[in-house]
A and B are shown apart, each in its own frame.
Chain A
Amino acid sequence: MDNRKSTQDVALGIRRRVFEHSMRNNGGYLSQACSAAEQLAFLYNEALNLGDPTLPAIPKPFAGVPRAGNDEYVTGAGYNGPFEPQYDRLFIAPAHYALVAYATLIETGRMAPEGLEMFNRDGSSVEMIGAEHSPGMEVHNGTLGIGLSTGAGLAWGRKRRGETGKVCVFMSDGEVQEGQTWEAVQAAAHHGIDNLWALMDVNDQQCDGAMDSVMDVRDIAAKFRTFGAVCVEVDAHDLDALRQAKAEPHEGQPLIILARSSPTHGMSFLQRRFPRLHYVRFKTTEERDEMNAAIAEELGIQPVELEAH
Chain B
Amino acid sequence: MVEMVNRPYAGAFEKFAVANPDVLCLSADLTSSCEIDGFRDRHPEQFLSLGMAEQNMMSFAGGLGLAGFRPFLHSFGVFLYRRPYDQLMASVAYPRRKVRLMGFLPGITTPGGMTHQAIEDVAVMRSIPNMTILETGDATEVESICEAADSIDGPVYCRVLRGSVPRLFDTPIEVGRMRELAMGEDVLVVTSGIATEEALRARDALSGAGVSIRHLHINTIKPFDPQPLLDHIASVKKGVVVLENHVIDGGVGSLVAEIMAENAVGKPLVRLGLRDTYAHGGSRAYLMKHYGLDAAALVAGIEKIIGAKTGITEDALAVARVDAVHSAVKAEAL
Contact = CB atoms under 8 A, between A and B. Distances in A.
A68 interface: yes
Nearest to B49: A190
A139 B67 CA distance: 13
A146 B153 contact: no
B184 to A, nearest CB: 36
B20 to A, nearest CB: 15
B129 to A, nearest CB: 7
A153 B129 contact: no
Interface residues on A, range: 20 to 34
Contacts of B68: 157, 161
Interface stretch (A107-115, A180-188, A235-243): A180-188
A153 B55 contact: no
Interface string B45-73: 00011110101101111111111110000
A153 B87 contact: no
Contacts of A66: 94-96, 130
A184 B56 contact: yes
B274 to A, nearest CB: 30
A207 to B, nearest CB: 17
Contacts of B69: 157, 160
A187 B86 contact: no
A124 interface: no
A160 B66 CA distance: 13
Interface residues of B, number: 31
Contacts of B130: 66-68
A141 B59 CA distance: 10
Given A140-B94, A143-B86, A146-B90, A187 B56 contact: yes
Contact of B67 (A143, A160, A180): A160
B94 A153 contact: no
A94 to B, nearest CB: 14
A139 B56 contact: no
Contact of A157 (B50, B53, B64, B86): B64
Interface string A67-81: 110000001000000
27 contacts: A68-B96, A68-B130, A68-B153, A68-B154, A75-B95, A139-B90, A139-B91, A139-B95, A140-B91, A146-B90, A149-B58, A149-B60, A149-B87, A150-B91, A152-B56, A152-B60, A154-B63, A155-B63, A156-B67, A157-B66, A157-B67, A158-B67, A183-B51, A186-B53, A187-B53, A190-B49, A190-B51
Nearest 8 pairs between A and B by C-beta? A153-B63, A157-B67, A149-B59, A183-B56, A153-B60, A154-B63, A183-B53, A150-B63
